[in-house]
Amino acid sequence: MKYGKSPRYIIGMDTSWFFEPEKAGFGGFGDIGIHAIDALRWLSDSEVKRVYADIGRRIEGAIGIDDFGSMMMTFENEVIACLSAGWANPMGYPKGLDVRFEMLGTKGALLIEKPYHVYRISRKERSEEQEWWRVDIWSVVNEFLDSIINDREPLINGEDGRAALEILIAGYLSAEKGRVVELPL
């Protein structure tokens, strides 16, 4: 699950383009969900082989683009992830972004409720909580700059972005057609 506030709540910036499909490309599901898709690929250490999605105007019916969606992804290693994402947090909500990851596999489950500090791994025998600290935006930017300066492949490359985008597009196709979509497209 990854929920954010609608861009219309951003003060001091023209956000009207977010609501124009020809300019934005995607709505709330794409805006918020693409980052979760990328994270789920990394967490599962596998590629998505099929998706099934329901995406549309679910919260604010008056806007001209989707605001929310859900998508089930089956990975090549048989991990199953269910993603719900979009502009779901109301203006008065205390956080701009909520993130929770749940992944189920044949050997256990992974639950990340506070993705910037704690995650939980559950197996048949036991469940344990681990702490971690997320790489902040400056570390991501510095890693990218370092890859340019040292003429090496960045840790997060264009192929990762392309793969996440293909999964997102497959989700929108699934929602449009009302059926499972196999990858690669």
Select 2-178's CATH number: 3.40.50.11540, 3.30.360.10, 3.30.1330.30, 3.40.50.300. Answer: 3.30.360.10
25 secondary structure, DSSP code: S
Backbone angles phi, psi at 167, to 5 degrees: -65, -45
The answer, as to whether pTM is greater than 0.75, is yes
Residue 169 backbone phi and psi in degrees, to 5: -60, -40
Residue 162, token pair as written in the block? 């392309």
User: Would you say 82 and 69 are in contact if contact means Cβ atoms under 8 Å apart?
Assistant: no
Domain boundaries, the chain: 2-178
Element (H, E) at 70: strand 68-75
pLDDT tens-digit profile, the chain (185 residues)? 888 889 988 888 899 999 998 999 999 999 999 999 998 998 889 999 999 999 999 998 788 899 999 999 999 999 899 999 999 988 888 777 788 887 777 888 887 776 555 666 777 788 877 665 555 566 778 888 999 999 999 888 889 999 999 999 999 999 999 999 999 99
Q: Distance (Å, rounded) from C-alpha 185 to C-alpha 181? A: 8
